[in-house]
Amino acid sequence: MSDGESERTFVMVKPDGVNRGLVGTVISRFEDRGLKLVGAKFIQMEDDLAQEHYGEHEGKPFFDGLVEFITSGPVMAMVWEGQDATRQVRRMMGATDPAESAPGTIRGDLGLDLGRNVIHGSDHEDPGANEREINLFFDETELVDWNRADEDWLYE
C-alpha cells in the first residue's frame, strides 16, 4: 500500500507487555500518533490459534518457544486504522530485538529482551499479513467504522 492510503493493521500487546501493565501506554502512543483504534480484544490465546498465527515459523527451532510464550498469559489484540498504518506502526514498534531498537520506539523504550519484546505488528513487507492476522482474531462485525474528531487536522 502506498503512502497516504488509509488501511487497517493488526497489533498485539504480548503477555510480557500485558503483565507489565503496558497496554495503556501502547494504546496511547498509537492514539497520540493519530491512528484510530477500530477493534480490540483482551484474550487468552489457545495453542491452535498461536500455532496458526506463527505458522510461517513452524519447523524452526524457536517455534515451540513462541507458542509457549504467547499462550503463557493474556494478550491485547487490536486493529488500528490510518494512512499508511502498517508502516507507521512498524516504525513506532522498532526493531524486533529491543537492543537494536532506537530510543523513542516502543521496543526501544520498553523492551530489553528479544524473546520478551512487548508487541507484535503485521509485517508491512508482506502484503497479505494484515488481512490474514486481522481475520485470525476478529470477525468483520467486531471492527467499528468511525471518524476521529481530529481527522481533518491529521490529514491533508
CA trace torsion 70, 45, 26, 23 (10° rounding): -110
- Pick the closest to residue 80 from 32, 43, 45 (CA basis): 32
Q: Which amino acid is at 8?
A: R
What H or E segment, with its residue span, contains residue 53? Answer: helix 47-53
**Which active-site residues does the annotation give?**
120
Q: Which residues of 31-56 are buried (b: 16+ CB within 10 A; e: fewer)?
A: eeebbbbbbbeeeebeeebbbebbee
Q: State residue 85 phi and psi, 5-degree precision.
A: -60, -40
